[in-house]
Amino acid sequence: MTDVARLAGVSHQTVSRVLNGSPRVRPETRERVLRAVDELEYRPNAMARGLVSRRSGVLGVISFDTILYGPASTLLGIERAARAAGYGVSISALERVDRASVLEAAEALAGQGVDGIIIIAPQMAAAAALYNLPKGMAAVAVEAGQDSGLPSASVDQVTGARLAVRHLLELGHDTVWHIAGPGDWLEARDRIEGWRQTLLEAGAVVPPMIGGDWSARSGYAAGAALAAQPGVTAVFVANDQMSLGLLRALHEQGIRVPDDISIVGFDDIPEAEFMLPPLTTVRQDFDEVGRRSMATLLRLLDGAAGEGEVAAQVVPTLVLRASTAPPRRG
């Protein structure tokens, strides 16, 4: 930094202000300093800066090894938000999502000197570990439900399910069947709750729930079961991959979508608009979840966020495509 200051003909403090984005530098001076930085190929020393600021500039993220669209997109949203805030990310991807694994990962990240951690904890076993994190560790939970005990950020899953079911009821369907996600997933639980609440409020019959495991294969199996049920005209599916399997099963049974059965999915995966027919689904804004979780963590690091603070939930949106229509009467 001293070399940069000498070449630019400014003080060491001026170079520091430019590198930290301070507005208290004249434009021509800033330009001169940045030219000197480029000429000398100067890069700030993260370790040295950490000694002064007492921050490493690195955040830990605990996730799990998955190809599921929702958790993978949540992780990507957090990474983007961290980069935008000038932080690097150290990711611990767990093979098993249980209490012991989450705590072990948190301890390992604390040992690396991360400034704080964000935990993607959509399963009940992972959420249970949040009460026993290392003392003094700034941590934010993502998709861990409202009772995690940590500052948190999430998508309003109940509202998303309500949007899907209300859309089908407003089209004129008497009731809506549901293919649910795994029982140990908090998101699946909340989507079930939104589905059931909306039917009860409308005075509609609540059909038996059909369980799935997020996979297209389980959606296919559910489709075979639904095809044998008389009077099914509308289905809310807890994610788009299961919707894909459902579409295949109904097609094989000669059941047309949406002429015979309307379908609404959840997530709005990139392939949803290319399904046959294009899938009506609930879109989650994963980038916004990343921004809110990052903002909450930064407030924690600055002492401005309280324990158990819940960031305003991100409200999902319904994307209308061709897989839904009014029911055929008679």
- Virtual CA dihedral for 12, 18, 21, 27, nearest 10 degrees? 140
Q: Which two tokens stand for residue 192?
A: 């079930």
Higher pLDDT, 135 or 273: 273
Q: Which two tokens stand for residue 196?
A: 């059931």
pLDDT winner (highest mean) among 54-58, 64-68, 211-215: 211-215
151 and 290 inside one domain = yes
Question: Is residue 11 scored above 80 in pLDDT?
Answer: yes
Residue 49 — very low, low, confident or very high, per pLDDT cuts 50/70/90? Answer: low
- What value does the mean pLDDT take over residues 284-288? 92
169 and 24 inside one domain = no
267 and 168 inside one domain = yes
Tell me if 257 is assigned to some domain.
Answer: yes
* Range scoring the smallest mean pLDDT among 82-91, 222-231, 272-281: 82-91
Contact predicate 82/72, CB 8 Å? no
Tell me if 322 is assigned to some domain.
Answer: no
Tell me if 321 is assigned to some domain.
Answer: no
Q: Is the dihedral of CA 124, 127, 131, 134 positive or negative?
A: positive
| CA pair distance 67, 8, nearest whole angstrom | 49
Cα–chain center distance at 106: 20
Please give the residue range of the domain that contains residue 215.
157-283
Tell me if 229 is assigned to some domain.
Answer: yes
222 and 257 inside one domain = yes
230 and 298 inside one domain = no
Tell me if 325 is assigned to some domain.
Answer: no
178 and 258 inside one domain = yes
Q: In the chain, what percentage of residues exceed pLDDT 70?
A: 91
Mean pLDDT of all residues belonging to the chain: 89
140 and 34 inside one domain = no
> What integer pLDDT is reported at residue 134 of this predicted model?
75
192 and 143 inside one domain = no
| CA pair distance 187, 168, nearest whole angstrom | 21
63 and 75 inside one domain = yes
Contact predicate 248/293, CB 8 Å? no
What total of structural domains would you count in the chain?
A: 3
Tell me if 67 is assigned to some domain.
Answer: yes
Helix (H, G, I), strand (E, B) or coil at 152: strand
Using alpha carbons, select from 216, 260, 256, 255 the residue that is nearest to residue 237. Answer: 216
> What integer pLDDT is reported at residue 123 of this predicted model?
81
115 and 17 inside one domain = no
For the entire predicted model, the pTM comes to 0.81
Using alpha carbons, select from 311, 266, 319 the residue that is nearest to residue 290. Answer: 311
Strands (E), the chain: 58-64, 88-94, 117-120, 139-142, 152-153, 177-180, 210-211, 234-237, 262-267, 280-283, 317-319
CATH number at residue 187: 3.40.50.2300
249 and 219 inside one domain = yes
137-184 pLDDT, tens digit per residue, is 888 988 876 666 678 889 999 999 999 999 999 999 999 999 999 998
Tell me if 326 is assigned to some domain.
Answer: no
150 and 177 inside one domain = no
Question: Is residue 88 scored above 80 in pLDDT?
Answer: yes
CATH number at residue 12: 1.10.260.40
Tell me if 330 is assigned to some domain.
Answer: no
Find where tokens 């993502």 sit.
142
Of 260, 283, 306, the residue that ends a domain is 283
